[in-house]
Structure 1
């Protein structure tokens, strides 16, 4: 009878451990997969109207809670007979619009305040740093719940509210890099040639600090996606008949035991999207950071 060496069996890695090890060692492959997923998500967001097979509000009560796999409904249907795939494609578009708009707004607002603090110093710099400390200490999720509960939820308000998340990160980075760049020779020489402060900051300093700001945006983007999903899950984000990834998760939790595909489909998209952005962001940081070269 063959004997089994338990010590050797315990040391034998499982398939998942082997997969993780190979992914860590093969960085270009992992980053490539992340970029392909993000490209697919962007394509879906742009062409959602042409790709989705049904309208997101089209109901078929005779096909309520249909299982995935059918040719008519590849990802099944929800409690009202609406096609999960169609709603998922629209949810990707809405969540990406909110996350992209909020990230751009946060980066522009924070960078502008950081440059203002570096230019004027004194009271302006002190005020910006105090506001940044206040923003960092503020429980943003609780504030968002209060604002949305008081003023009601709308796409514009949601984007603006999410846009003020994380601006202090950009303000601190932009201020520090601008002060460092201003003390270097190229910025001082441009000032001596008669360039205005706006030209110095936006034509000379900003291109030199853009790489760091871009990496910060890749860190903020998944955080905003998760925050929007959390607010929609709680019922204070995107409101029906519109849909988002968090909105689908929120409505699908009531049918988790009977129709788990309603909740699992958007959950998987959220996980893969945030993971891909984090992987690509880490790769960009390594590529754009001269100290790691």
Structure 2
């Protein structure tokens, strides 16, 4: 008996090793981790207060351009330390992007589940809202709302949360209808489970991977929208700061002090690139149709 089992054990294929992410994805993970740590520890690692003025060192160049290490990334037109403002801008921009992404996902997923559950008139209304939202230029809507109601951080985050909610609604509706036709959702329904339990405990966990990938793809769009609106002066208002507002104020000193603009601009590019790379990688890992 032992002689018959030995060849089978010897011929068994070795367990496949889990492959590491590609180098660009590793870079994205490291960069995004660094940005999150910077946002959380901004009060600890910032060398100065982001509103502290030093008029004697106005437009001081960064250390790599002949400046001093007292201001490694230089100072702006009011003598404020660019590194300190960059650290707090990262916190503000990530807070806005995370908040808006979660709001959009909650709104879209909820409406998608409502359309899949009630069908009929409710589904037609939700689909009409989806088509209307997809056809409306969001930037024009944001400019109109912010110009009419004024600048408020809560309003700003909620407004950005309305961006791309229709994607989540389409995905949630389609996957919920597909799950409803499968055995596990029908079995739970026949056992007398409430709709909240069916969608919250059974349907949502099975479609969560697709929704997470959609969130990672929408996250960089929110960062760019926030940067664009802040660049136009309709986003984060002084004394608060964000990556977009730093770029907006730095454009006036592009020829004399380009370091004011380059640091936040490079941070925006690398952050959006990192999130996009991670989103594409997660889609390839979690989508069974691409395996």
Normalised by the length of structure 2, the TM-score is 0.91
Match of 1:86 among 81, 84, 87: 84
> Tell me, what secondary structure is at the counterpart of 1:81?
coil
- C-alpha offsets along residues 27-75 of structure 1, whole Å, 9 cap, x if unaligned? 6211111000000000000010111111111110110000001210000
Match of 2:22 among 15, 28, 31: 28
> Tell me, what secondary structure is at the counterpart of 2:234?
coil
What is the deviation of 1:140? 0.5
Partner of 2:277: 279
Distance in 1 between residues matched to 2:93 and 2:150, nearest whole Å: 18
Aligned residues: 268
Partner of 2:14: none
- Unpaired segments of 5 or more residues in structure 1? 1-25
Distance in 2 between residues matched to 1:125 and 1:73, nearest whole Å: 57
Partner of 1:103: 101
Partner of 2:140: 142
Partner of 1:37: 31
Partner of 2:12: none
What is the deviation of 1:292? 1.3
Partner of 2:125: 127
Distance in 2 between residues matched to 1:134 and 1:211, nearest whole Å: 27
Which piece of structure 1 moves more, 149-158 or 249-258?
149-158
> Tell me, what secondary structure is at the counterpart of 1:74?
coil
- C-alpha offsets along residues 8-40 of structure 1, whole Å, 9 cap, x if unaligned? xxxxxxxxxxxxxxxxxx962111110000000
- Determine whether 1:253 maps to 2:251: yes
Normalised by the length of structure 1, the TM-score is 0.91
Distance in 1 between residues matched to 2:227 and 2:71, nearest whole Å: 24
- C-alpha offsets along residues 168-226 of structure 1, whole Å, 9 cap, x if unaligned? 00000000000000000111011111111110101000000000000000011000000
Query: What pairs up with 1:1-293 in 2 under 5 angstroms?
Result: 28-69=22-63, 70-293=68-291
What is the deviation of 1:152? 0.9
What is the deviation of 1:291? 0.9
- C-alpha offsets along residues 116-163 of structure 1, whole Å, 9 cap, x if unaligned? 000000000000000000000001101101111111111101100001
Distance in 2 between residues matched to 1:244 and 1:154, nearest whole Å: 14
Distance in 2 between residues matched to 1:158 and 1:219, nearest whole Å: 20
Distance in 1 between residues matched to 2:276 and 2:253, nearest whole Å: 31
Distance in 1 between residues matched to 2:77 and 2:155, nearest whole Å: 29
> Tell me, what secondary structure is at the counterpart of 2:22?
helix
> Tell me, what secondary structure is at the counterpart of 1:241?
coil
- Unpaired segments of 5 or more residues in structure 2? 1-19
Distance in 2 between residues matched to 1:227 and 1:239, nearest whole Å: 15
Distance in 1 between residues matched to 2:235 and 2:22, nearest whole Å: 36
CA RMSD of aligned residues (A): 0.8
